[in-house]
């Protein structure tokens, strides 16, 4: 019995050790065109150059993509035999670990158009524009805002905007339309903070929908 228990413990240790190995998320190559990825590739290329290894950022990207694909395939093969065990034990990891910082994060801004003029009603982190903040700052919505900004997921903003439009039509009877904006706000370098020259925000994605207000029917 002791030997059997020892074998089970050994299998468990092997399973969780493999599950704990860092694994790149296998995604579309287009995601590597994101500003943060290109920024980090340029930094790595520059650092290698200082060490005497000259590799252009574009070539470095090709090499790393190839290595990442091979490693991800091996990682999936190693995990496959333990899949049922992970499911039974509930050891799935919902959030990506070993992830780097997003150097070009986006905040979300929502505006309504009243008498032809756009009026801000919600903005991430704004103390003044806090409409529907309980819903928009819920973990599920924060994850959606992060995900729907990425290539390959942006078409899902149509459904998200439909939900926002429904609430906007209810809370702003005079509003004619609602607008959802993803505003890129680059993380400043220490020097930029010291100099007070913060990088300007830029609108990355904009979605607009006309509002339909329910008209009460007559008696």
Q: What is the pLDDT of residues 75-85, one digit of tens each?
A: 889 989 988 88
For residues 126 and 85, state if they share a domain.
no
Least confident of 37-46, 86-95, 155-164: 86-95
The residue with greater pLDDT, 216 or 162, is: 162
For residues 48 and 79, state if they share a domain.
yes
3-class DSSP state for residue 128? coil
- Please count the other Cβ atoms lying within 10 Å of the Cβ belonging to residue 208: 14
For residues 46 and 129, state if they share a domain.
no
* Domain range enclosing 167: 106-210
Does residue 72 register a pLDDT over 50?
yes
Q: Do residues 166 and 178 touch, judged by C-beta distance below 8 A? A: no
CA distance 45 to 62: 12
Among 30, 61, 89, give the residue marking a domain's end: 89
* pLDDT value of residue 216: 46
For residue 119, what are the CA distances in angstroms to 94, 129, 130, 137, 180? 37, 10, 13, 20, 12
For the question of whether the overall pTM of this predicted structure is more than 0.75, the answer is no
CA distance 102 to 35: 9
Total domains in the fold of the chain: 2
Among 89, 120, 154, give the residue marking a domain's end: 89
Does residue 218 register a pLDDT over 70?
no
CA-only gyration radius of the chain, Å:
24
3-class DSSP state for residue 148? coil
Residue 80 located in a structural domain = yes
Across the range 44-52, mean pLDDT stands at: 89
CA distance 134 to 150: 24
* pLDDT value of residue 214: 64
Does residue 113 register a pLDDT over 90?
yes
Q: Indicate the average pLDDT of the chain.
A: 85
Residue 218 located in a structural domain = no
Residue 215 located in a structural domain = no
């Amino acid at each position: 019995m002791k030997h059997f228990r020892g074998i089970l413990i050994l299998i468990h240790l092997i399973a969780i050790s493999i599950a704990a190995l860092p694994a790149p998320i296998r995604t579309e190559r287009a995601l590597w065109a994101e500003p943060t990825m290109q920024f980090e590739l340029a930094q790595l290329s520059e650092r290698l150059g200082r060490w005497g290894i000259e590799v252009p950022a574009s070539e470095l990207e090709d090499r790393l993509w190839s290595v990442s694909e091979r490693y991800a395939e091996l990682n999936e093969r190693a995990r496959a035999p333990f899949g049922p065990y992970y499911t039974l034990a509930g050891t799935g990891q919902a959030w990506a670990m070993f992830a780097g910082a997003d150097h070009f994060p986006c905040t979300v801004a929502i505006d309504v158009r009243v008498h032809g003029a756009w009026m801000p009603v919600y903005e991430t982190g704004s103390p003044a524009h806090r409409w529907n903040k309980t819903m928009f700052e819920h973990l599920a919505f924060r994850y959606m805002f992060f995900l729907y900004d990425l290539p390959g997921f942006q078409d899902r903003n149509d459904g998200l905007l439909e939900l926002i439009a429904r609430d906007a039509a209810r809370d702003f009877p005079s509003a004619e339309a609602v607008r959802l904006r993803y505003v890129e706000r680059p993380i400043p370098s220490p020097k930029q903070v010291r100099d007070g020259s913060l990088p300007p925000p830029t609108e990355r994605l904009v979605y607009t929908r006309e509002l339909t207000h329910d008209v009460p029917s007559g008696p």
